[in-house]
Amino acid sequence: MSECPRTDRFGSVALVGAGPGDPDLLTLRAVKAIQSADVLLFDALIDPSILDLARPDARRIDVGKRCGRHAMQQAAINRLIVDNALRGARVVRLKGGDPFIFGRGGEELDSLRAAGIPVEVVPGVTAACAAASSLQIPLTHRDTARSLHFVTGHGSDGLTPNHDWAGLVRAGGTIAAYMSGRTLGTVAARLIDAGMAGSTPAVAVENASRANESHVFGTLAALPGLLAERGFAGPTLVLIGAVVDLAAARTIVLPQAA
């Protein structure tokens, strides 16, 4: 039975980036897509005020994944998106950040293409850009960072992926390590083992762009311990590189003496 009957044979799907959390960072295109939705499948960290942009009659489905508590497996989410679109609905898959930056948008896109369903992708502001803007850290700089590398500190198995750490160190520039709150010790150790100086500036940012945003500055070697002391529980991004020294208001926290 169709939840949202339409006159066309198939519906359509928009993979929409909701940005890092602050509703003011939504794009106009994202707002229009949300307002047009018959069915809205949203992530766990989407701000409730963003959901309020949808029509009152739109069906809202929470498919969010929380650390250690997955509300729904990715394969089930893919099927839900496809099934609603096949029933004729205009489906919006609302994702934190950008759909194609550690958002599993590619997996959803594959499923929709296989089913022959029209897909639109709406980009969103990613957490690295939001965190850098909040702290006024230029992610690239002609004098200190000519490259930018997005990596994840948390793989599908819960472990730190086996990146080419030596290659990252050789490339220089800025590293934005997503989902690294729980794995920063491993990330830092592997970078240092690969030749990065332990004194390299770094900052951890929790809940970038939100009213409860928190951050802690330190060195690459010291930051894992500082982060553990602060007990960040929300989504945490770590920026590593010389550009961190250019932050508008930088206070380095040193580890407590034993």
Q: List the catalytic residue out of 32, 52, 62, 65.
A: 65
65 part of the active site = yes
- Conformation bin of residue 195: beta by default, left when phi > 0, alpha when psi is -120 to 50: left
Q: Give the residue from 51, 117, 56 showing the smallest Cα distance to 81.
A: 117
Residue count of the chain: 258
Q: In b/e form, how buried is each residue of 159-192, taking b as 16+ CB within 10 angstroms?
A: ebeebebeebbeeebbbbbbbbbbbbbebbbbbb
Report the interhelical angle of 184-193 vs 223-230 (nearest 10°).
Answer: 180
Sheet bearing 90-95, strands edge to edge: 59-62, 39-42, 90-95, 12-17, 119-122
d(CA 59, CA 246): 45
> What type of residue is 125?
V
Sequence-distant (≥ 6) Cβ neighbours of residue 229 within 8 angstroms: 256
Annotated catalytic residue, options 8, 24, 32, 43: 43
Strands (E), 80-144: 90-95, 119-122
- The residues annotated as belonging to the active site are 43, 65
